[in-house]
Structure 1
């Protein structure tokens, strides 16, 4: 499919996973630059993610620069050790200042630490950092009380709860508690990377109300560390269904492409494999718009 035709299908997309800066890890662009570049595709919005800090504060400080940019930018907080781990007070501040997402532990999760035994699994940060494991369970195997407190704040605000990089058993426990508390928006990112989840487990997560997010960067021929071709992504979509799938970029790292270009390449490849245009729109526009609460 020609690039203009793909761009037409992708127009108005929402990216739930953009690693724009500032950040302790080297970034190719900041939140404002990402938003301006998103205008090329009429990008409706994106979610700025940091493993280390509350990105809402970045966006408030960049308000003057973001004024007039048609792509909206939202922030959130990842519950790694840099924010105190499972910290309901930090979550409360983030969401009540406009945050839209809480990522449960990513680089501090047991699954991430086990997957990257030799280190953090990322480029060297620009400042010295210590990362320690953050657990959602206590010695008795039950979820710690702070998990429930965080979930209550998420439910109150209607925000998105992301599984971060937790292991499948932890995701199931946290998502079950979240559903029972009234959380309506749940997402699992890159299930076949770090998390180590298969389609059968993901269908269980869907039963709890979750969407399954795949990253274009992991199927993009222009990304050196891509973990599979578009055929692998197409197989996941067919197994899970486009109504439960989200495509996001997971881009912003130095040396990698802009999110817009990655969406175009991967979107084009999926359409060439026979994915209907309406299904691609569902995964890049309809589903992520719901998860960010853009039409509430």
Structure 2
């Protein structure tokens, strides 16, 4: 009896959504801008793309590029990362971003203490991303409680049905953040690259998924032609342990000299299929789950 072959990888990935694209403009050198990334996504009929900057509210970029995006099929969304450059945990900046169409709030990334602990000399990131201790954005007061601004931001996320990400936070901070988010009825929570910088193991990620969170892995970290950190077999192990229903695959690409997201999705997606991942599971992680998080219909 002959086993049925998998459909072509382009068919499986068709209509995907990328929740983590580092296109430009940015203070860091970028391989492409938001419009170029969205246009290139047309090779896989990319349905949506979420663009992220460590430094600024990307909704403003997209408004400035509105004319160039008018004829692009891929729908592009922005968000805000709560690093020192936007005033840290700044409800005013979050309110402006979300009320102007932003779909995501990332709690501190390179302004988090966890990021500095993981990259004290800038290893793996441009040196400029590592802030001095005085520029670390705190989430807690002197007594150890979350700052009032954290709760204000979560209220805004709930009001606007946005995504809340734990950023590059310590696992314990992300746990408490998601606990408060769940209590508010927030349905769109994401932990990014748990095995990079953050250091959250599968057991802890299971706890996050029980709160309703999704675990995001970055294909750029598993792409054999993109400065690969790990073998796709490790990614498959994560998927099997956490479950595709709780997993999202995103690119985390855009940095100068690295692949286009479409190419990384294609290579890593094919590798996962070759390792035995069912095509329906891959499609769920690159299309169905991220579209739910972005509030984009088919």
State the match for 2:22 in structure 1: 19
CA RMSD of aligned residues (A): 1.8
Match of 1:260 among 256, 259, 262: 262
**1:3 and 1:67 mapped to 2: Cα distance?**
35
Aligned positions of 1:1-296 closer than 5 A: 5-119=8-122, 121-123=124-126, 132-224=135-227, 226-295=228-297
Q: Are the aligned partners of 1:3 and 1:264 in contact in 2 as well (CA < 8 Å)?
A: no
Query: Partners in 1 of 2:293 and 2:139 — Cα distance?
Result: 23
2: CA distance between counterparts of 1:187 and 1:166?
12
Q: Give TM-score, length-normalised by structure 2.
A: 0.95
Q: Kindly state the Cα deviation for residue 3 of structure 1 after the two structures are TM-superposed.
A: 11
Q: Paired residues, what number?
A: 293
Structure 1: runs of 5 or more not aligned: none
TM (norm. structure 1) is 0.96
State the secondary structure of the residue aligned to 1:188. strand
Following superposition, the deviation at residue 181 of structure 1 comes to 1.3
Structure 2 CA distance, aligned partners of 1:114 and 1:150? 25
Superposed displacement of residue 183, structure 1: 1.1
